[in-house]
């Protein structure tokens, strides 16, 4: 297939990652982009009919139920979108001989390990969200050998809601901020995920028979905690001339125990990206570079 007639079905087009994927994939193929209004992913028949009408060469599925705390009270809905739907997409892709690109999360791990998690480490999710995402991975692997699962963490984009936007809002309104400092990970820009996806799709398109299918960790370089992440965001805003009531120094570090949430949060969201880098010959920029670019878009807007 030449890129002239390659067709990609993209779900979740209005989410943080889906929005950026519309940009990154556009030069490679005809994109059929859908959101919840076009196809309810909790409805298996709607999914099957969409794929059968579209007949894509590749399905890219960033859509997910991502309200981590709310999922504790809505386990059935979270499971239908995060576990059942990816399995159905994988089945339908398999019947077309199509590739499925699916996104997962560090929440499939328990966060108890000391170092960065590798793809081969045992999953042990501690929340409904994490369990449903793990079940989605299992369903995809079971249904279609032609799959690419990209696990990521702490996604941040200029489009959609996220931690950085919340911190900017709170720091402009409040006199003080308390942010958890004992959870570690790497803020990963939606644009980076989208650009890497496009790179992998291009590689698949050029040589599908030699493509290294499987599960890969995809996060920005470096690591930080939520408190230092908040301080970085506020500092960048002040440098850009945004009035902030809270300075970076005034953000107080607290522990996870000080800030209880319905869903358990991981102390360690670090993901080892060596497999992705060596397999595909990629470098992953430091989290501050990607986040800085996102903040320019948010603050400049």
Which three-class secondary structure state does DSSP give residue 11? coil
Q: Give the C-alpha separation, 276 to 283, whole Å.
A: 9
Please name the residues in contact with 44: beta carbons below 8 A apart, sequence gap of 6 or more.
Answer: 84, 85, 88
Asked whether 111 and 267 are in contact (CB, 8 A), the reply is yes
129 is catalytic: yes
Whole-angstrom CA distances from 214 to 34, 119, 132, 159, 235 are 25, 9, 19, 28, 39
Burial of 176 (0-12, 13-18, 19+ CB in 10 A): exposed
Q: What are residue 97's DSSP bridge partners?
A: none
Q: Which of 65, 107, 117, 129 is catalytic?
A: 129
Q: Give the C-alpha separation, 164 to 242, whole Å.
A: 14
Asked whether 238 and 247 are in contact (CB, 8 A), the reply is yes
Name the residues annotated as catalytic. Answer: 129
């Amino acid at each position: 297939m030449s890129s002239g007639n390659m067709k990609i079905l993209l779900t979740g087009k209005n989410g943080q990652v889906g929005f950026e994927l519309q940009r990154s994939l556009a030069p490679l193929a005809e994109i059929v982009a859908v959101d919840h209004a076009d196809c309810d992913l909790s409805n298996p028949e709607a999914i099957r009919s969409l794929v059968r009408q579209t007949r894509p060469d590749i399905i890219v599925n960033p859509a997910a139920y991502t309200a981590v705390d709310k999922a504790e009270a809505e386990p059935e809905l979270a499971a239908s979108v995060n576990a059942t739907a990816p399995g159905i997409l994988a089945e339908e892709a398999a019947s077309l001989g199509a590739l499925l690109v699916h996104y997962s999360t560090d929440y499939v791990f328990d966060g108890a390990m000391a170092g960065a998690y590798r793809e081969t480490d045992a999953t042990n999710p501690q929340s409904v969200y994490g369990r449903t995402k793990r079940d989605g991975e299992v369903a995809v692997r079971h249904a279609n050998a032609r799959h690419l699962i990209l696990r990521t963490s702490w996604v941040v984009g200029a489009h959609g809601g996220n931690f950085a936007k919340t911190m900017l809002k709170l720091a402009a309104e409040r006199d003080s901020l308390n942010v958890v400092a004992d959870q570690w990970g790497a803020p990963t820009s939606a644009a980076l995920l989208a650009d890497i996806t496009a790179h992998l799709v291009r590689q698949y398109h050029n040589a599908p028979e030699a493509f290294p299918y499987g599960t890969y960790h995809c996060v920005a370089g470096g690591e930080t905690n939520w408190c230092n992440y908040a301080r970085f965001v506020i500092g960048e805003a002040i440098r850009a001339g945004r009035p902030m009531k809270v300075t970076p120094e005034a953000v107080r570090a607290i522990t996870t125990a000080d800030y209880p949430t319905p869903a358990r949060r991981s102390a360690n969201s670090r993901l080892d990206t060596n497999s992705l880098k060596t397999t595909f010959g990629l470098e992953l920029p430091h989290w501050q570079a990607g986040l800085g670019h996102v903040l320019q878009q948010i603050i400049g807007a």
